[in-house]
Chain A
Amino acid sequence: MTIELLAPAGDLERAKIALDYGADAVYVGGRRFSLRARASNFELQDIAELVEYAHKDDHKVYVTVNMIPHEDDMEGLREYLIDLNMIHVDAIIVASLYIASLSKEVAPTIQVFLSTQLSITNSKTMDYFKQFKIDRVVLARELNMHQIETVISESSLPIEVFIHGGMCVNYSGRCTLSNEMTLRDANRGGCAQSCRWNYSVYYKDSLVSDKDPLFTMGSKDLLTLNHIADFIKLGVCSLKIEGRMKSAYYIAVIVKVYRTLIDAVYENKLSDDLIDRLNLELKQAESRATFDGFLSALPNQNGQIYQVNAEGVSQQFIGMIKATKPGWALVEMRNHLGLNQNLEVFSAHQANLTFINTSMIDENGIELIIANQPLTLVWLKIPFAVSIGDFIRRQGAL
C-alpha cells in the first residue's frame, strides 16, 4: 500500500482542488466541534457532496471533530456523529477520548484518528489508546526522524505525520495564550496566534530584549521535501499538510509538489535536481519562512521568525480559471495584471505551459490594459487549451 497524501480544505471548492491536484484524502471541519472554526465552511450537505466526489476515485474524506469541548459544547454531538456515519465519512480526527468512544458506539463505520492536539510522543502512550479501538495516531510535531522511526517500530497503530505548513510553537493542545490574551479558546477553534505577537523581555525590572526585533514565539512553517523518502521507508501511513485556512492556490501548489515527489520516490526517480525544482515551486505559494521542524534537530533561533519580512515572499498568483471558451479563459483575479506579461498555467492535468498576456476583456466586453480589482472576472486570451480549476500566475519555476 502506498503512503497517503492528506490535504486540508476550508471549503468544498478547495477540497475538490486538493483531490484534483493529487491528494489521496482531504480533511475538513464542520461548523461545530472543529478547531479552525473560522476556516470551516462545511455544512453537512457539503461534506456529503465531498464524500461522493472523493469516493468516485477511491479518495477519502476525514472530518475534524477535534475541539476540546466544554460542557456547553456537547449538545448535538451524538447526532452529528450519526449524521457523519450516514453520509459515509471515512474517519474523524478527534482530541477527545470521550468523542472517540462515542463515535465508536454511534458511528461504527467511521474510523477514529487521534489528533496531534493530544501531543502523543511515544509508543507506550499509544498502547493506552488501543483500548479505545483507535485506528490511527497523528504524532506530535516535536519528534525527530529517529524518534518517529522508534515509535513506528514499537507500535502497531498506523502513524500519520505532518509534512508541511504552520506549526504551533507550543505542544499542541497545551496552549492557552489565546484564551488569556483574547478570551478566544485555542482548543475550541479560536486561536488568535498570540505566539506570533511581539513581546518585550524583562529580567527582574530591567528591559533585556532588543527593540528590533522584539521577542516572539512565532515558528517558521514546516517543509519536509528532504524527508519524504524516509517517511515512506519508515512505514508512515499518511503525510499530512496543514492549512485549512489557506487559499485554493496554496493547496494546489503544495499538494502537486508533494504528489510529484511521492510518485518520484515510488518510481525510483527521486533526484536532488527534482527536490530543488520542487523547492522553488513551493516558494511560489509560501507566505512564511520554512524549516524542517524537529525532524533534524531541536529548533533553535533558526526555527523562529523574529523579523516578519526577513525572507522574501513571492506574490506570483494571478487568479483561477472559472470558465473557458476556445482561445480564452475567464479568470477570477487575485492580483493586479498588466498586458504583455509572461504568465504560466498551473494545472492539475498537465505540465505547466507559458504564454504572453496579449489581451484582457472584462465581463462587459471592454478591453483592459490593466486588471487590478481583486475577485473580478476577466477574460484572458490563452493560446492553448486550459481547464476550469487551473491557475494563472506570473511565470514560475517548474
Chain B
Amino acid sequence: MITFGHISSLSLLNKLENHPIELIIPGDCFAYRKPTILSRTDFETLYLRAIELGYHPYIELNGFVMPEELVRLSEYLDWLLKFKPKGFYINDLAVLMSLKEKNFQGELVYCPDTLLTNHYEASVFLKDFKRVQLAKELTLDEYRLITHNLPQKCEMFALGHLIMSVSKRPLLSSYFEYIQDQRSVLNDLNYRLVESKRSDSMPILEEQDTTSIYMDGIFTMFEAIPSLKDDLYGIHLDPLFIPEDAFIDLLDLVLKVEKDGYDEKAFKLIKQRYPSLKWNDGYLNRSTNASKEV
C-alpha cells in the first residue's frame, strides 16, 4: 500500500526527507486547499525541493474550471508538464480531457471528494483513470466492499481534517463585510466555526475562489489499515490545520502500522504528546443514511 502526503508547505516538506511516501503537491491555480501556494514561484520552489529530496511528485488540481479558463488551463498544464510529474489528481474532468489531448502518459487519478461511493461508479471512471480516490463519507464496510471489488484501483483519505463542503462564495469575507468588520480572512488557517447547539470547532478556509469547511477532529484510521491494505492501493494524509511536528509523528505511525500492524500504545503516546488536538474516525463506524421522521 502506498502512502500519499499532500504537501503545500516548504517547511513541512523539509522535514520529510527519507520518508517512504509519495508526494502530492497542489497547483497554484485550478486547485484549492493550498493556502501557501499562491504563485507559480511558490509551486516551483516546492516542487523542485521535493525533487531534491528524491521525490517524484504528483500534482493535484482539485478545483472547478470555469468556461473562460479553458485556454489558461491548457497553457498551465503545458507549464506543469515541464516538471514531468508522476501523475495528476483531478476533480474537474476538463483537466482529464486536456491532458489526454496533450497525450500525457503519466498516472491520472480521479478525486472528486464525494461522488465515488460505490464500486459500480468507480468502475465507470476507471476506464479513463488509472485509479480513483473514494468518497470520504463511506463506512469501513463500504471501503472494504468497494476495494475488494476493485483491488489496487482505489485510494482513500486516511489522515487529516475531513472536508465537508466547498463553496465558490467568499463566505467568511461576506459575513465580516455584513457586520462591518474589515478583517482579512484570505488563506488564513486560523478561523473556526462552532454551530449554535454544538461544541465542535470546525476549520473554515477562504481562498481566492473557494471557501471550504472541515470536520473538527483529525480523522485517523490506524486500526482499519491492516484490514484494507491488501486491496487498497493507497492512503492519503493531509496536514492542513495540523501542527507540522504532530503530522510527522502521525505519518511515522501510519508507516509503522502499515508494516507491523496497529499499535494502540503508539497512538496513545501521540495523543498525550499533543493534548490540544482532537481526533475522530469520520464515518468509518457510522452510516449516514439516516432520514428525518415525517
Contacts and interface: CB of A to CB of B under 8 A. Distances in A.
Nearest to B69: A122
Contact of A70 (B66, B138, B178): B138
A189 interface: yes
A81 B177 CA distance: 49
B96 to A, nearest CB: 7
Nearest to B293: A38
Nearest to B214: A180
Contacts of A190: 288-292
Interface string B144-175: 01100000000000000010111111111111
Contacts of B137: 176, 179, 185, 187
A42 B168 CA distance: 34
Given A97-B125, A170-B166, A298-B168, A123 B190 contact: no
Contact of A179 (B93, B146, B171, B288): B288
B165 A174 contact: yes
A95 B135 CA distance: 14
A264 interface: no
Contacts of A199: 193-196
Given A122-B94, A174-B165, A300 B118 contact: no
Given A97-B124, A179-B137, A217 B190 contact: no
B183 A208 contact: yes
A101 interface: yes
Nearest to B125: A97
A125 B65 CA distance: 9
A298 B211 CA distance: 13
Interface residues of B, number: 73
Nearest to B146: A71
A129 B94 CA distance: 10
A128 B128 CA distance: 10
Contacts of A121: 64-67, 92
A43 to B, nearest CB: 17
Interface of B: 64-70, 92-94, 96-98, 112-115, 117-121, 123-125, 128, 135-138, 142, 145-146, 162, 164-175, 177-179, 181, 183, 188, 190-196, 198, 201, 204, 213, 215, 283, 286-292, 294
13 contacts: A68-B115, A69-B118, A121-B65, A122-B69, A174-B113, A180-B164, A184-B292, A187-B114, A195-B165, A202-B193, A213-B179, A215-B193, A294-B168
Interface of A: 37-38, 68-74, 95-98, 101, 118-119, 121-125, 127-129, 140, 142-143, 146-148, 150-151, 154, 169-171, 173-177, 179-185, 187-190, 192, 194-195, 197-204, 208-210, 213-217, 219, 294, 298-301, 303-304, 306
